[in-house]
Amino acid sequence: MFDLTGKLALVTGSGQGVGKGIAHVLIEAGAHVLVNDLVPERAEATAEALGKSASPLPFDVADADAVDAAVASCGPIDILVNNAGIPPSMRAVKFRSLPREEWAPYIDVNLYGVLNCVRATIDGMCERRWGRVITISSGSGVHGQNIGVSLYAAGKGAGISFMRHLAIECARDGVTANTLALGLMVREEGPGGEEARTVTAKLAGSIPVGRLGTGDDIGYACAFLASNEASWLTGQTIAVNGGSTTS
Ligand SMILES: NC(=O)c1ccc[n+]([C@@H]2O[C@H](COP(=O)([O-])OP(=O)(O)OC[C@H]3O[C@@H](n4cnc5c(N)ncnc54)[C@H](O)[C@@H]3O)[C@@H](O)[C@H]2O)c1
């Protein structure tokens, strides 16, 4: 069950954090994983750590030409996980205080990044009559929150809507498209720094199961969605959040 042997998967933003966990679990299930990241050294180090079933494929998901060139250099991609989603400039600030010049990166990575990666892979999936697209979103894309993430949430919500429509358009082609809406996760280094990690750790107690999520938790959900057994599951947004109702 949930055997991904022989499948080629691209996991964007998998040089660290959630994506690294997803890559690890997909490899355990038998897939070969292309480890993408904006930071080439991260993609290379993570691919090396994951072993011979992983290859680095650094590029910026928001750069359509770079996405097309990278995808063209690989074999046919069967499983696309759109995981890159936190722009390096991310900071928690409410909409009225967020300068217009800071809007674009949230939409670029979370909407155009998803569009670019789907555009580069979907024709091959439909032609081969098998494909899986999984987008990593957030409770922020589903619920209103007062934590200064409105632009990030706009991008996350856009990804959810796009997956729902892609799923219907490709439903007869053997391709499924789903979204995972994550709750609070263990954070590695990254935007927001130590302060963001401390705030996140403090909020862990409010999660019904009593802990933050890990990359592997999300990887198990991806392995299921990517499997043959999930061929009747498409167009859905699944909350993976330790039972939270607001994140
Ligand atoms: N961390 C959380 O609490 C949390 C909660 C809900 C949803 N999510 C979502 O989970 C996903 C992963 O989050 P994370 O916490 O692991 O983030 P992270 O910042 O720790 O790691 C993500 C990786 O993506 C890379 N990246 C960023 N922009 C990119 C781009 N344009 N092209 C290619 N790679 C890029 C970064 O270099 C980084 O290595 C994101 O979509 C995020 O929105 C995270």
Testing ligand 1's pocket by substitution, the residue of 10, 11, 18, 60 carrying the most ligand atoms inside 8 A of its CB is: 18
Question: How far is the C-alpha of 16 from the C-alpha of 85, rounded, in Å?
Answer: 12
9-66 tens-digit pLDDT = 999 999 999 999 999 999 999 999 999 999 999 999 999 999 999 999 999 999 999 9
Query: How many Å lie between the centroid of ligand 1 and the Cα of residue 73?
Result: 24
Of ligand 1's listed atoms, the one at least distance from the Cα of 110 is 41
Q: In the prediction, which pLDDT does 183 show?
A: 97
Q: Work out the average pLDDT over 165-184.
A: 98
- DSSP structure string for 32-43: EEEE--SSHHHH
Query: How many Å lie between the centroid of ligand 1 and the Cα of residue 127?
Result: 30
Ligand 1: does its nearest atom lie under 6 Å from the Cβ of 19? yes
- Residues 84 and 109 sit within 8 Å (Cβ to Cβ): yes
Q: Work out the average pLDDT over 59-74.
A: 98
| CA–CA distances in Å: residue 168 to residues 158, 171, 175 | 16, 5, 10
Ligand 1: does its nearest atom lie under 6 Å from the Cβ of 20? no
Q: In the prediction, which pLDDT does 190 show?
A: 66
Mean pLDDT lowest among 76-90, 110-124, 162-176, 183-197? 183-197
pLDDT category, 205, cuts 50, 70, 90?
confident
- SS3 percent helix, strand, coil of the chain, rounded to 5, is 50, 15, 35
pLDDT category, 86, cuts 50, 70, 90?
very high
What is the percent of the chain with per-residue pLDDT over 70, rounded to a whole number? 94
- Is pLDDT at 192 greater than 80 in this prediction? no
Of ligand 1's listed atoms, the one at least distance from the Cα of 14 is 23
- Residues 242 and 186 sit within 8 Å (Cβ to Cβ): no
Q: In the prediction, which pLDDT does 196 show?
A: 67
Q: What is the mean pLDDT of the chain?
A: 95
In the chain, what are the domains? 8-240 (3.40.50.720)
Instruction: Give the residue, by CA position, lying nearest to ligand 1 atom 41.
Output: 85
In the set 106, 112, 152, 220, the catalytic residue is 152
- Whether 152 is catalytic: yes
Q: In the prediction, which pLDDT does 150 show?
A: 98
Instruction: Give the residue, by CA position, lying nearest to ligand 1 atom 43.
Output: 85
- Is pLDDT at 195 greater than 70 in this prediction? no
Q: Work out the average pLDDT over 205-216.
A: 95
Closest CA to 244 of 213, 206, 217, 215: 206
Q: In the prediction, which pLDDT does 4 show?
A: 98
Ligand 1: does its nearest atom lie under 6 Å from the Cβ of 217? no
Q: In the prediction, which pLDDT does 96 show?
A: 98
- Residues 243 and 209 sit within 8 Å (Cβ to Cβ): yes
226-237 tens-digit pLDDT = 999 999 999 999
